[in-house]
Amino acid sequence: MYQSQIIVLLVLVPLLLAQSTKMCYSCQGNCTVTSDVTECLSPDDKCYACEDSQNGFVIQSKDCISSILAESLCNGNSKCYTCDYDLCNTIVDPGAKNCYVCIDECSEPPQQHNCQEVLTASETRIVKAACLSYTIQNGDEVTVSKGCIHDDSVIRSTCFTIGHVFPHITCKMCDSDLCNGETVPEKVTTVDECYYCVQDCVEPLQTQKCVDVVGEGVSTKCAALEFTSGG
């Protein structure tokens, strides 16, 4: 008897869990300060977060929504998304939805990733996404990487300042769909050593190492200037 009850219990528990309804954040108007928590009516319902502009006013909303209505809720609105687990509608603006992605070498057109899926898997929560484009110049060789990245102030600041510290690195972040699809920069020819002279350029000329003049990590070329003065 006890064995049969245990078997029935083991069968019922997964069914009950599968039928449990979701909990979602709920608010209307301004959702940046606080949000209530509400229980959805149906196990198939989803959570959503949305921001829209009407007559110059920004209106935000979070709540439960039926799975049927969820399919068309965000049409044409980049600041809108639906999600399918408890309290997943934490932020209103999910940022970029899709970004180009490639590592070191970007053939045109590069592949695309859904940032919400990629970052939710790595962050275990929905975060605001941005598209990243990261270029490294090493002599005449250029490597380019692109992809989705968590959009927060620390990461943006690091991306902005890294080019000032390392001039051979370029980092760009943007927050609209497929905004990191600019053309891969052309390879730049750089030199290590040039002939050097001032006023009296008589052969054989002296040579000068470019790194001694401009420092490490800077692309260089040789130059020759001729000035004529007098009448």
pLDDT at 61: 92
Return d(Cα 197, Cα 206) in angstroms, integer: 7
Q: Residue type at 67?
A: S
pTM over 0.75: no
Compute the half-sphere exposure of residue 33: CA atoms within 13 Å on the CB side of its CA: 3
Do β-strands 23-29 and 57-65 pair in parallel, antiparallel, or remain unpaired?
antiparallel
pLDDT at 40: 95
| 3-state secondary structure at position 82 | strand
Tokens of 160: 């902005």
Read off the pLDDT of residues 197-231 as tens digits, 9 standing for 90 and up. 877 777 777 777 777 776 665 566 676 655 444 54
CATH fold group of domain 98-174: CD59 (2.10.60)
pLDDT at 172: 92
Residues with pLDDT less than 70, the chain: 1-19, 33-34, 182-191, 214-221, 223-231
Indicate the domain borders of the chain.
19-83, 98-174
Return d(Cα 115, Cα 96) in angstroms, integer: 7
Whether the Cβ atoms of residue 23 and residue 38 lie closer than 8 Å to each other = yes
